[in-house]
Amino acid sequence: MTEKDQEKILPTRHVGLSRGILYGIGCGIGGSVFILLGSAIEEAKSGVLISLILGGILIFFTALNYSELSTSLPISGGAYNFSKEALGGLLAFIIGFFLWIANIATFSFSAQAFTVVIEAFFPGTFIQNLFLPIAILSILFTAVVMFRTQKIALRTLVSLTIVLLIIFGIFILSGFFIAPTTNPSNYNPNFLVSETDFFRVIFMFSSLFIFFTSITSNLAYLNADLKNPSKNIPKTNIYAILITLFIYLLMTVVVMINLGSYPSDLIESPILLAFVMNDILGFPGYLLMGIAATISIFIAMNAALSSAVSVMYALARDNYISKIFLKVSKKTKEPTLVLVITTTIAILFTVFAILFANIGFTANITTFIYFFGLAFVNFAAVILRYKRKELDRPFKAPFFPYLPVVVGSTCLILSFVLGVININAVILGLIILFIGFTYYLLTIADRHSVTLTLAGLKFFALILLGIFIWIINNFSILISPIIGFPAIFSLIFLRILIFFCIFALGIIFLDIMPLKELVYFFIRRVNKKEVAIDIGIGQIIEMKKSKAKLIYNINIITSIIQICSSIFIFILVSLFAVDIISIDSITFGTIVMPQETAEYIFNAILIFLGTTLLFGGLYSVYLSKETKTLGV
């Protein structure tokens, strides 16, 4: 696709290089730096600098692949569009769905960050009681006021980003050159060489990657509007990432050398940057950082909402969801229904996060979804290079295909490393994946593909579970607060689980070769009297009602057993969740797998298999009922 071809399907390009870079920086520096930086420093000490550098390197390499994809396909839809062109079908929809949810989660995270900052600046019971209403109002404000038209939104974002950079410049210069005079009691550069360890650095690398995710993801939606895309898209991505990383590192260094003897509760405060500025410049500095926090949060909210709407609109364009979502308001030129649905989901996400979790959980689920989506976008770069050789590629990512494969694999691994930090976030991410998968199967895929896909998922899960059961029986130590329960678990619960696994293998065979097809095969070969019509190789078989009823009953029974086995599996997961049974450790020679890791892997496999069996059982019941109703 040449740039002349692109002009036929793209709107007029009106965004220059400098505005694109500022937009990328503004999207990157969201509320996460205010909310998460303090706790990251407390956890990893000076190692947080390494974590940020690793995050910058990973997003930089991802940006190289994004740049190749964007210069080849600079049309609306962003990263989802790359996956659609390279992968198509189920994977393209799942990635689009994941990116839509990821932007909604970022939108929700920013709304929660705003309320956390407000509460920190104005502590008191009254503000705490308004936590949820403030978050909802901030979402509605962004949707109704700031998202009137894209041009106004872009100009606003760029202007606010310039103000934000000026404030951060004051923060950095003050921290290095004024702090030794005005803040001598807390100024201590020795913190930069404080001890850390490898695992804390890696965990913080996973947790803090949310600092960078919005840069490439939001620029991917702006690329369609960039002037001279073949040159400006790579420059915009690379410069925005390098400048953002540089700002993060300088701000982190300033915070660390000015911590002094801060107690841990202040270090983990969402207004730690404001406390540091207060020590250096007094109340004006405190107020400046409050303004910076508000600006950065609303930039992130506006960008996340814009990206989410763009993804959902692209899904409707490609017939993954109803065409009704393509309707655009004549006044605002925006897809109103898409905006309403996206905003509603963001409000629901925020309500559940505030009532049943916390902002850290939202950050982790956002990062998990982004990791998962980025992994397959990188893989898409490899596939598209081979699949669409005719595309014009003004920019090519270096070290192909090793770079996108390594970066994609790293993102996929890190998505599950988050399970050690917050397993609930990963489980919710897998549930969201299952919801998208189910929607696709029920509304888009043909039934034969649904059945075969479920059979493949069951087989994969059974292989993993079989291996892990063998490991538990031979290399693990089970513990429980109930005396004798580990023995009961091994002798009874695991054996019941093994029985269900063997039964599920038989179900997989019936998924591939349904019982009715086996009976038809037997009739054609043995009992030819029941062949009503024989036309060449085609045959119509008139089965006796007793046989048809028997087949129906067997299918219903096997479906019920599938559902029961899934319930049993979820009971096992609940036993681990409430600590009735625990895997103390798994030991392979000199290698020891700790309790958190072992239980996370085992529970993840159980949830995966249980969910697949539950859906498979319900789907089998549905097909059996429908077949009986139709009389076929």
pLDDT in tens, 165-198: 999 999 999 999 999 888 888 888 887 877 777 7
The residue whose two tokens read 């503000």 is: 127
The residue whose two tokens read 């390197």 is: 57
Contact residues for 142 (Cβ-Cβ < 8 A; gap 6+): 107, 298, 301, 302, 305
The pLDDT-based confidence of 539 (bands split at 50, 70, 90) is: very low
Q: 582-588 and 591-593: which strand pairing?
A: antiparallel
Q: How far apart are CA 65 and CA 411, in angstroms?
A: 14
Q: Is the pLDDT of residue 108 over 60?
A: yes
Residue with the larger pLDDT of the pair 166 and 269: 166
Is residue 377 domain-shared with residue 473, that is, in the same domain? no
Cβ distance 94 to 440 under 8 Å? yes
Q: Residue 472 in 3-state DSSP?
A: helix
What is residue 126's predicted lDDT score, i.e. its pLDDT?
A: 67
Q: How far apart are CA 194 and CA 461, in angstroms?
A: 44
CA 507 to chain centre: 32
The pLDDT-based confidence of 536 (bands split at 50, 70, 90) is: very low
**What are the backbone angles phi and psi of residue 287, rounded to the nearest 5°?**
-65, -40
Q: What is the dihedral of CA 179, 184, 185, 189, to 10 degrees?
A: 70
The pLDDT-based confidence of 533 (bands split at 50, 70, 90) is: very low
The residue whose two tokens read 């893989």 is: 379
Residue count of the chain:
632
Is residue 308 domain-shared with residue 246, that is, in the same domain? yes
**pLDDT tens track for 39-86:** 888 888 888 899 999 999 998 988 888 888 777 776 655 677 777 777
- Which region among 128-132, 199-203, 470-474, 520-524 has the lowest average model confidence (pLDDT)? 520-524
Q: What share of the chain is helix, strand, coil (3-state, %, to 5)?
A: 80, 5, 15
Cβ distance 490 to 581 under 8 Å? no
Is residue 109 domain-shared with residue 224, that is, in the same domain? yes
What is residue 420's predicted lDDT score, i.e. its pLDDT?
A: 67
Asked if the structure places residue 431 within a domain, the reply is: no
Asked if the structure places residue 441 within a domain, the reply is: no
Q: How far apart are CA 624 and CA 191, in angstroms?
A: 67
Cβ distance 394 to 232 under 8 Å? no
Q: How far apart are CA 582 and CA 482, in angstroms?
A: 11
Instruction: Pinpoint the alpha helices (H) of 258-335.
Output: 264-267, 272-281, 283-317
Q: How many angstroms separate the most distant Cα atoms in the chain?
A: 102
**What are the backbone angles phi and psi of residue 533, rounded to the nearest 5°?**
-135, 135
CA angle (76, 77, 79) in 5-degree steps: 125
**pLDDT tens track for 271-284:** 788 888 888 888 88
CATH number at residue 77: 1.20.1740.10
> pTM score, two decimals?
0.73
Q: Is the pLDDT of residue 150 over 70?
A: no
Q: Is the pLDDT of residue 3 over 70?
A: no
Is residue 418 domain-shared with residue 482, that is, in the same domain? no
Is residue 271 domain-shared with residue 147, that is, in the same domain? yes
Range of the domain at 239: 10-425
Give the residue-averaged pLDDT of 144-153.
62
Q: How far apart are CA 416 and CA 480, in angstroms?
A: 26
Q: Is the pLDDT of residue 347 over 90?
A: yes
CA 409 to chain centre: 15
Give the residue-averaged pLDDT of 137-156.
74
Q: How far apart are CA 280 and CA 186, in angstroms?
A: 10
Query: Residue 375: how many CB atoms within 10 A of its CB?
Result: 22
Task: Report which residue type is found at 197.
Answer: D
What's the domain count of the chain? 2
Is residue 249 domain-shared with residue 352, that is, in the same domain? yes
Q: How far apart are CA 321 and CA 124, in angstroms?
A: 45
Q: Is the pLDDT of residue 4 over 60?
A: no
- Which region among 34-38, 347-351, 451-455 has the lowest average model confidence (pLDDT)? 451-455
What is residue 564's predicted lDDT score, i.e. its pLDDT?
A: 92
The pLDDT-based confidence of 631 (bands split at 50, 70, 90) is: low
Asked if the structure places residue 31 within a domain, the reply is: yes
Of 255, 254, 214, nearest to 237 (Cα)? 214
Angle between helices 595-630 and 402-421 (to 10 degrees): 100
Task: Report which residue type is found at 360.
Answer: G
The pLDDT-based confidence of 242 (bands split at 50, 70, 90) is: very high
**What are the backbone angles phi and psi of residue 466, rounded to the nearest 5°?**
-60, -45
What is residue 7's predicted lDDT score, i.e. its pLDDT?
A: 41
Instruction: Pinpoint the alpha helices (H) of 122-271.
Output: 125-129, 131-141, 150-173, 179-182, 198-208, 210-222, 229-257, 264-267
Instruction: Pinpoint the alpha helices (H) of 318-422.
Output: 336-356, 359-387, 402-421
What is residue 496's predicted lDDT score, i.e. its pLDDT?
A: 92
Contact residues for 16 (Cβ-Cβ < 8 A; gap 6+): 226, 227, 232
The pLDDT-based confidence of 525 (bands split at 50, 70, 90) is: low
Cβ distance 62 to 213 under 8 Å? no
* Sheet (strand 582-588) strand order: 476-479, 582-588, 591-593
Look up residue 353 and give its two tokens: 């996060």
Give the residue-averaged pLDDT of 234-255.
91
Buried b (16+ CB within 10 A) or exposed e, 519-540: bbeebeeeeeebeeeeeeeeee
Is residue 255 domain-shared with residue 351, that is, in the same domain? yes
**What are the backbone angles phi and psi of residue 209, rounded to the nearest 5°?**
-65, -20
Is residue 533 domain-shared with residue 569, that is, in the same domain? yes
Q: How far apart are CA 338 and CA 335, in angstroms?
A: 5
Asked if the structure places residue 299 within a domain, the reply is: yes
Asked if the structure places residue 1 within a domain, the reply is: no
The residue whose two tokens read 């107020």 is: 287
Is residue 272 domain-shared with residue 395, that is, in the same domain? yes
Residue with the larger pLDDT of the pair 209 and 240: 240
Asked if the structure places residue 469 within a domain, the reply is: yes
Share of the chain above pLDDT 90, in %: 12
Give the residue-averaged pLDDT of 534-541.
47
Look up residue 563 and give its two tokens: 């559902």
Q: Is the pLDDT of residue 463 over 70?
A: yes
Asked if the structure places residue 83 within a domain, the reply is: yes
Cβ distance 81 to 73 under 8 Å? yes
Is residue 39 domain-shared with residue 149, that is, in the same domain? yes
Is residue 380 domain-shared with residue 456, that is, in the same domain? no
The one-character DSSP state at 580 is S
Give the residue-averaged pLDDT of 370-387.
82
Cβ distance 328 to 334 under 8 Å? yes
What is residue 147's predicted lDDT score, i.e. its pLDDT?
A: 59
Share of the chain above pLDDT 70, in %: 85
Cβ distance 63 to 216 under 8 Å? yes
Q: Residue 542 in 3-state DSSP?
A: coil
Q: Is the pLDDT of residue 217 over 80?
A: no
Is residue 458 domain-shared with residue 392, that is, in the same domain? no
Of 233, 254, 213, nearest to 30 (Cα)? 213
- Tell me whether the omega of the peptide bond preceding residue 284 falls within 30 degrees of 0, making it cis: no
Asked if the structure places residue 246 within a domain, the reply is: yes
The pLDDT-based confidence of 199 (bands split at 50, 70, 90) is: confident
**Mean of per-residue pLDDT scores for the chain:** 80
- Tell me whether the omega of the peptide bond preceding residue 401 falls within 30 degrees of 0, making it cis: yes
Evaluate the CA torsion angle 268, 270, 275, 281 in order and state its sign: positive
Secondary structure of 60-99 in HEC code, one letter for each residue: HHHHHHHHHHHHHCCCCCHHHHHHHHHCCHHHHHHHHHHH
What is residue 384's predicted lDDT score, i.e. its pLDDT?
A: 80
Q: How far apart are CA 590 and CA 604, in angstroms?
A: 25
Q: How far apart are CA 26 and CA 22, in angstroms?
A: 6
